[in-house]
Chains A and B, each alone.
Chain A
């Protein structure tokens, strides 16, 4: 992914010779929306998107030399918020005990790959949620149960 070109393109398409030395909320939200749409076109996976943001956040001093201060503030905020990914609040599980949330996403991942095949990209979302939420011991136990054909859910 050619990240410098992507960012420069997004900024140029949005700014149109406005005063960029100060942080402007409207310009910033336009730039962020443009960057989001360009990244969506590239069809990156969740880890790849987070790594893209992380790598760009790490070289913010490079962007500070290229862009005016208003833009770099905006870019720093954008990359900082996306460098780490975590599943959003799931309203199906509003209570303190999230064990069911972990289990349901694990089951949904296996159902997805059974239905759509292992290479189907969108199944990755369920896998990411299950890996984030479920303790490693629980994941190992579930995998063992699947291998031994003892898992309580029939996919």
Chain B
């Protein structure tokens, strides 16, 4: 989750998000270098008395300042396209979870071959001295297994919503009539937070998402108990 004074992206908990963080850092190097160089040249041209006012053309200079940006762009393009196609790579999922957006809560439906369970996830309204995170914790978390490809199928029952988990690098619009898919896999157990990312009415800021990743054996026990308790 985001914390006070956070300027950077959240730590990547899925492979794709880790790669996106590396890509972001890599691109930021180029951006800062280019910005510094351009700012320096700009200042030099304005301030320096030693500027040659009588240069009218230079073929060598024009060639150099075409080829170098071309090389920079090539170095930027290859990792960008590689990551873009890797994000769209299809994998056979282990588990499908349906996510239905409502005003103003999320409904999760697990329908596997041997268990079928659905529940609503409302934000918890707590007093300020509560140990729960403000506007982020929910009453029923979505429990999922680690080291398993999970496919989320996202739709809405009323207006547009958007289901996003920044730390896993996933986001998809919940559109009524559409069933958008998102795929993720994380090897790390933990609790990951997200918030509705498409304006959907008065309580748009108060319908958070909480995922709880646990090892597969714990997840199978949890799901078996759900089926028993129904």
Interface residues of A (CB under 8 A from B): 46-47, 49-51, 54, 57-58, 80-81, 83-89, 94, 96-99, 101-102, 128, 131-137
Chain B residues whose CB sits within 8 angstroms of the CB of A85 once the complex forms:
112-114
Main secondary structure of the interface of B (DSSP, over half): mixed
A86 and B151 form a contact (CB under 8 A):
yes
Closest 7 CB pairs of A and B: A47-B113, A85-B113, A99-B179, A47-B114, A86-B93, A50-B113, A98-B179
Given A50-B113, A81-B94, A84-B148, the answer on whether A137 and B157 have CB atoms closer than 8 Å is yes
A87 and B118 form a contact (CB under 8 A):
no
Enumerate B157-201 residues with CB–CB distance to A below 8 Å.
157, 172, 177-181
Q: Given contacts A57-B220, A58-B221, A86-B93, could you give 12 more A-B pairs where the C-beta distance is less than 8 Å? A: A51-B113, A54-B220, A57-B217, A85-B112, A89-B92, A96-B180, A101-B179, A131-B111, A132-B111, A132-B113, A133-B179, A134-B179
A58 and B217 form a contact (CB under 8 A):
yes
B109 at the interface (CB under 8 A from A): yes
Bound CA–CA A12/B180 (angstroms): 46
What would be 8 A-B contacts, judged by CB atoms less than 8 Å apart?
A47-B113, A51-B113, A58-B217, A83-B220, A88-B92, A97-B178, A98-B153, A135-B109
Chain A residues whose CB sits within 8 angstroms of the CB of B96 once the complex forms:
86-87, 132-133
Q: Closest chain A residue to B93 by CB distance?
A: A86
Given A54-B220, A135-B98, the answer on whether A99 and B114 have CB atoms closer than 8 Å is no
B39 at the interface (CB under 8 A from A): no
Enumerate B116-156 residues with CB–CB distance to A below 8 Å.
116, 118, 145, 148, 151, 153, 155
Please tell me which one of the listed residues B91, B94, B148, B181 contacts residue A98 in the complex, with CB atoms under 8 A apart: B181
Bound CA–CA A94/B90 (angstroms): 9
B95 at the interface (CB under 8 A from A): yes
Please tell me which one of the listed residues B93, B114, B151, B155 contacts residue A135 in the complex, with CB atoms under 8 A apart: B155
Chain A residues whose CB sits within 8 angstroms of the CB of B114 once the complex forms:
47, 50-51, 54, 85
